[in-house]
Structure formats: structure tokens, C-alpha cells
Chains A and B, each alone.
Chain A
Amino acid sequence: DTAVSQTPKYLVTQMGNDKSIKCEQNLGHDTMYWYKQDSKKFLKIMFSYNNKELIINETVPNRFSPKSPDKAHLNLHINSLELGDSAVYFCASSSPYNTGELFFGEGSRLTVL
């Protein structure tokens, strides 16, 4: 059983489209995160949810909207995709919040053409 699973693993789409990435964790963790990793491998926190409540919302364009239907799921919806959104998006979970011990999914590589 994969602890943190993301779908899809690869996503290729045109500029202007809307897309979603789904994440599920079966670790029973309270906190889930979305990270963006650019082509230089730099990791940037985007959002953090603790028990379905938004905790961190970094300076991310409002085209990005997270949604946590329950504490095992954190989805990321992106509207009006731009070229600069091309990156690998990682979902992660931890318990308790932000102890630094994160479990990561395998990533979703988004390519915007």
C-alpha cells in the first residue's frame, strides 16, 4: 500500500486549461501539504492543511485552489494554466503539524505547452 499517493503522475496540457491533481494518504496523519519543485529542484511550500483547515497559504496565485474533503485527501486545482506552472507538484503528509518528518508522494509532473 502506498502511503501517500498522487494522481496523475504526468500531466501535459495547453495554456489556459484547468487541471486537478489528487492526493490521498493512508497514514492517519492530520496534516497535508502541497509543494512545488521547479526545474532547479527548489522546493517551495504552497499550502498546508491541518485537520481540513488551511494553515499555510504562501504567496501562490489564486489560480491555485486546494481542497481538503477530509483529512486523508488534499486536492489541488489549477485554473487558467500558464507556462510557468510547469513543475513537479508534491503532496506530503505529517503528524503532528510541521515537525519536519514528512512523507512525500511520488510527485505529479505538470507540463504546460
Chain B
Amino acid sequence: AQSVTQPDIHITVSEGASLELRCNYSYGATPYLFWYVQSPGQGLQLLLKYFSGDTLVQGIKGFEAEFKRSQSSFNLRKPSVHWSDAAEYFCAVVLNAGNNRKLIWGLGTSLAVNP
């Protein structure tokens, strides 16, 4: 069955440190790939997306993600984390089955930032 895996349930980093959040998917073809962020008490906001082309995509708030087909991964990175980045991060994929597109969500990674 198609699935999205975020192996890290919770990550803590120090402010100013680099960050990498992992996302893997299981699907035969290349799906559309997304990262969303949910700040405390807020709705989800799209950080970045990958449809095709350059496998390194830039998003908002200084985030980037790299699609690696060989690893079925789409990891999210940020070179220097700010305290305001503390949030829940969701990876999601859209499986393209003709007109029957299906959006599948990972379980999320909770990011805490130490001062």
C-alpha cells in the first residue's frame, strides 16, 4: 500500500543549528511531493512542493528540500534554525492515478528549538 513515512516523531535542535527532517514514500512512480508546517494553534501552511524538474526546491521561511528518486525521499532542510521554526512538520504526497489523485499525509515531525 502507498504510504508516507516520517521516521522522526520528535526532534530537538538548538537555535542556529542546521535541520534535516526526513520523509520517505512508497510508490512506484514519482508522486507530487509537499512539506507543510503547522505552528501551534494554527492551520497548516505549504512550505514547498516538488512536481518535476530540479530536484532541489526552495520554499518559504528559508527551507529547502531535495527529491532523491533512488531513495524515495524528500527531506526538508534548513541551514540555521530560528526559535520561530518550532512547529509540527508534515510531509505529503499526491499519487497520480489519472483523474483519481490521492493525497497521503505523513504522521508529522514535531520540532522543538532550544535557545
Contact = CB atoms under 8 A, between A and B. Distances in A.
A104 B103 contact: no
A104 B39 CA distance: 12
Contacts of A106: 41-43
B102 interface: yes
Nearest to A43: B105
Interface in B36-87: 36, 38, 41-46, 49
Given A100-B92, A101-B49, A45 B103 contact: yes
B25 interface: no
A42 to B, nearest CB: 6
A62 interface: no
Interface of B: 32, 34, 36, 38, 41-46, 49, 88, 90, 92-94, 101-103, 105, 107-108, 110
A104 B43 contact: yes
Interface in A37-74: 40-43, 45
11 contacts: A41-B88, A43-B105, A90-B43, A98-B102, A100-B94, A100-B103, A102-B44, A102-B103, A104-B45, A106-B42, A107-B42
A52 to B, nearest CB: 18
Interface of A: 4, 40-43, 45, 90, 92, 97-107
B44 to A, nearest CB: 5
B105 A4 contact: no
Contacts of A42: 107-108
Contact of B110 (A41, A98, A102): A41
A98 B38 CA distance: 19
Contacts of B110: 41
A41 B101 CA distance: 23
Given A41-B107, A41-B110, A42-B107, A102 B101 contact: no
